[in-house]
Structure 1
């Protein structure tokens, strides 16, 4: 009876996924883009109900039906939704906390995105870095021709050169951009699944308050090690340079989130108005060159010196 129910539910979820995929393929624009976040939900829901082995079988079936009824180009989409969805669903199946589930799902989605990245390079000969660099050069050339007459001729060349150097770094942080995309994708998909499961099973899945977010101490070692490498290595070192700049970027973002979380926590402990942490976060995003560094330092202190425990003890 249980096997029959599992197979029936798997066929239903596979059909729902294929229907969503076909809608996305034939419905371009904003609606199609928004549905991309819904694609992993059938995988998450089914894996949450029956475990990763059943989710893997659904994933294989989805790949086969995608090749039969959709296009070969849509296979990477199925890869992303399947791997990320199974990761999130298995974390929910094991009753992990909301932020642990998010972290595990983020890894799954990042693996899926990296898989797409490698497939497009190995089988289609498409280099994302070269494509981005070419597009940036074209945009910069157009901008330079449009505004060259408006800039001060004495400082024009220097300013344009600074902009070009900043743009040249962008292709190098493509892995960081992909990782951030995976993290955001996992969060939205997890939130949607929570809503679905709560509606169907009358459960209370939800994210813990942001003020309770606590990153592991190991993140500090990754951050400081990559910081040192950034001063030692240069772009000529190839993979070492790319690894250093991307680990530094990602860990820096996580530490900023930790700093924001502490600000919200401290405001709650001191019973400040909820508007105060919101204003601080907005100002930090508007003045990133100054305030975000301070928030990052706050995140480092919070993790490294157990700042929250000290605040609670004083309370």
Structure 2
């Protein structure tokens, strides 16, 4: 891995993604005691950063592999991303989704041309259903977060942020499966100026926090968090990157996530999903740590099921 690999990735995917806006707010700077720069991946195609990794992963496949299609399992955002990326590149996408996935995300997958298979809401069921499609269709499995090409694609968000603001002291990224945090960490390592990377995670789904502490991949017995995109766990490809390049992880409570999301809706006038708000929630929780720093925050997505969203 070197800087050139990341530069080539960015050049490859750029025609298929948005270079998303970076928002600031003097009010939120005062509220947090730091200078905040929000990288708005809620404005990305299909509404989340995962368009980046999905596009790169498909583009790195051989022509023969692309002709056989791709398959993934996802609670929502990567399902949408792979479906749209595949559509843009003329590839068939098979999507395994848990039967409790947000309605708005499942409808979007279908609208993007993804072929959906429902499964029980657990990792074993997801993996079994995806493997069956691989066996029957010959499709290539692309993991939502534990795939190096996905991670490299994800890194382009922080690369864009650092291109505009090269002297950030720290970048915060939400962590669920670890693909965005790993990509952000690689971008900061190669393109930042002594820029720390910190993960943000729901307290009730703190497997990444515990994994960095123990030195091995931990799991959650349950992950009943409003941040539905962060219910997955780390993998053997992204975990070593986190161990090497992530400073630490801050865990936030459910009400802290909801409060942060509400502030972003009210003050930035943008729609972000709960998973997006955990980075900002971490800054509000640890104001003393971030005081006076220039802080980048990756707002990971904005695909909200308005029928279920709660602000209290």
Structure 1 or 2, whichever has the larger Rg, is 1
Please give the TM-score of this superposition, normalised by the length of structure 1: 0.23
More helix, by proportion: 1
